[in-house]
Amino acid sequence: MLDEIVPPQVVAVEAFDDPDDLQLYPEEQAVLQKAVASRRIEFGTARWCARQALAKLGLPPAPILPGLRGAPGWPSGVVGSMTHCAGYRAAALAHSREVATIGIDAEPHTALPDGVGDVIASHAEQRALAELAGAAPEVFWDKLLFSAKEATYKAWFPLTQRWLGFNDAVIRINAADGTFTARLLVPGPVLGGRQLTEFSGRWLARDGLVITSIAVPAGPA
């Protein structure tokens, strides 16, 4: 599924079940000393996906440790993103010479809990969600908006090392072509001599999942 919404330069690997023979590096195991079993499993499967992606990029396996604000630390010359939810884990990686940053997110295709939409969505976004729901009620657009904001943050943070709140970007979802834009309301990072003012992404809602992705090309904007 994920490979349908990432560009050719990005290698996507996903898992719908957890492998029985998950192997973690000692450094990764140390991070999980106090983690519950479910956390250990999702952590391990996401990294299994990432190491499969590294192999497809022609690179050796490596430990992937959480860094600042939990962002994964990738080997030199690699950018990437990981995600996990019930019944799904995935990683998307690319060479940094081709892609500047990646953000992916997956969520169960269900409605957001009551009250969450008021926290993550502006009044304009809420009006847009209502219009989308009227045209295509089979999609839980509020969960798609949440996922798009999560993917936006994951793409933003490696470039800036700064927090990006839910209200710091406005998401505009295109229901017709499976794309979205995230317009930044705060100063964006500079790439190729130009300051980014928005991210462009893609989405799909299928088989009980909502998946979103952003991949920003390296080089001139």
User: Are 89 and 15 a contacting pair, CB within 8 Å?
Assistant: yes
Q: Which of 76, 103, 130 is the last residue of a domain?
A: 103
Examine the domain organization and report whether 210 and 151 are in the same domain.
yes
Provide the domain count of the chain: 2
Q: Which residue has the tokens 């509020």?
A: 142
Same domain, 152 and 198: yes
pLDDT in tens, 140-150: 999 999 999 99
Cα 14 from Cα 90, distance rounded (Å): 4
Does one domain contain both 99 and 110? Answer: no
Are 83 and 155 in the same domain? no
**Where does the pLDDT of residue 220 fall: very low under 50, low under 70, confident under 90, or very high at 90 and above?**
low
Average pLDDT rounded to a whole number, residues 116-144: 96
Contact between 128 and 172 under an 8 Å Cβ cutoff? The reply is yes
What's the confidence (pLDDT) of residue 192? 86
pLDDT beyond 80 at 219: no
Which of these three, 46, 69, 103, is where a domain ends? 103
Reported as a single tens digit per residue, the pLDDT across 46-63 is 999 999 999 999 999 999
CATH code: domain of residue 78: 3.90.470.20
The helix (H) or strand (E) run that includes residue 52 is: helix 37-56
For residues 154 and 211, membership in a common domain is answered with yes
97 with 111, same domain: the answer is: no
Domain match, 83 and 109 both: no
Q: Report DSSP state, residue 110.
A: S
Domain boundary among the residues 51, 81, 103 is at 103
Mean pLDDT of the 114-121 span = 94
Same domain, 146 and 208: yes
Q: Is residue 23 located within the same domain as residue 109?
A: no
Q: What is the structure's pLDDT at 166?
A: 95
Are 109 and 192 within one domain? yes
In this structure, the strands spanning 11-15 and 88-95 are antiparallel
pLDDT value, residue 20: 87
Check which CATH number belongs to the domain holding 205 and give it. Answer: 3.90.470
List the domain range (segments joined by +) for residue 82: 2-103
Instruction: Judge if 72 and 148 occupy the same domain.
Output: no
The residue to which tokens 């396996």 are assigned:
61
Task: Kindly state the average pLDDT of the residues 4-17.
Answer: 97
Q: Considering the entire predicted model, what is its pTM?
A: 0.95
Same domain, 8 and 54: yes
